[in-house]
Amino acid sequence: MIDRRQSVRADVGRRSPEAPVRTTLSPRKPSGILVAANPGERGKPGTQRGGVRDDRRWRSAAAEGRIIEFVSAATSSQPDRPISELFAEKRPLRSLEFYPPKDEVGVEALRQTAAALRRIGPDFVSITYGAGGSTQARTAQMSALLRDEFAFTVMPHLTAVSHTRAEVAAVAHTHYERGIRNIMALRGDLPNGSPAATAFKDGLHYGSDVVALLKELHPDLCLGVAGYPEKHPEAPSFEADLVNLKRKVDAGASFVTTQLFFDNEAYYRFVERCRAAGIGVPIVPGIMPVLSLKQVTRITSMCGASLPGRLIRRIEAAGDQPEIIEALGVDWALTQIRDLIANGAPGYHLYILNRARSALTLAAGLAA
């Protein structure tokens, strides 16, 4: 029988466990405008000069409850490098996931998190798309902010649920015009209370449909798709789930990012199954540092990931001590990442819940 870890190593070629992870970032030099979501404010120049925004105007808009969209006139048309080219460098990539905040307080918190994380130089960041496209505008706005203010290579999520082909095309075109060349193509979660029979429109039923449409519109887009080491909750079997994943790859996806997991053996088994099914693209493990037992129990119940008994016992032993639980969660994630990289994983994707501390702690631990 093939050693699962050996099969992962074979995917990426020989690499030292100590292969370097990029820790610096060459920022863009934006010279642009601040644009408010209020249509009456669009097009008015801000005082963005030399990459320093006018905080007074930002705070004024925040006080009025408006979502701010930062667009850099100097950089928005400069296309990003496809993430697929980074995988060709045969080094472990580090990426982070943000979600769009609900209000200006959240926007400012996200900015502070992004500023803190800039020092570790992630290879790219993703930003999620709410159920049924509920955060469509905010996803676009925060993608622009993260890209143009913080010089991140951004991979916005884009989903099929509740959208027509024309609507998906319009969102993709907006990203493309801003220079974004990487998109996470997903079926998407159903809005609460929305039956599946009415949630899909215009022939867009699966992630593979989104991939095919985006590649038809812009063949040079690099598309990521989702994979489930412990099976998608709605899939009737592992085999059916892999058939769906292969459809997405065959439609043009360049890589897979997995749902979170806490047992690396689940990832190694998943990679082995994918290779046997003819799925040859990079498969990036998704890792989430635990912050609380309540939090991780809620998330795993939704996505179908399992919690190892040893991890549960550690968290329970910590009792009502959030700092200890967070330290335990980071230590568990650090152990996972070290093992994954040593055994040939092409990198790791951190689900950070818009918080910087755990990602910074992990980066420090991996650099030690």
Point out the residues that are catalytic: 97
**Cβ atoms < 10 Å from Cβ of 196:** 10
- Integer Cα distance of 73 and 203 in angstroms: 36
Question: For residues 346 and 354, what is the distance between their CA atoms, to the nearest angstrom?
Answer: 23
Residue 299 CB-density burial (10 A; 0-12 exposed, 13-18 middle, 19+ buried): middle
Q: For residue 330, how far is the Cα from the chain centroid? A: 19
Q: Which residues, at least 6 apart from 62, have a Cβ–Cβ distance to it below 8 Å?
A: 68, 104, 105, 107, 108
CB burial of residue 10 (10 Å; 0-12, 13-18, 19+): middle
Q: What is the largest CA-CA distance in the chain?
A: 65
Chain-centre distance of CA 240, in angstroms? Answer: 24
The helix (run of H) or strand (run of E) holding residue 2 is: none
DSSP per residue over 249-294, as a string? HHTT--EEEEEE-S-HHHHHHHHHHHHHTT--S-EEEEE-----HH
Number of H helices, E strands in the chain: 14, 10
Q: Is 8 exposed, middle or buried (0-12, 13-18, 19+ CB in 10 A)?
A: buried
CB 179, CB 201: distance < 8 Å: no
Measured distance CA(225)–CA(59) in Å, rounded: 37
| Residue 68, both tokens | 């701010």
Cβ burial, residue 367 (10 Å; 0-12/13-18/19+): exposed
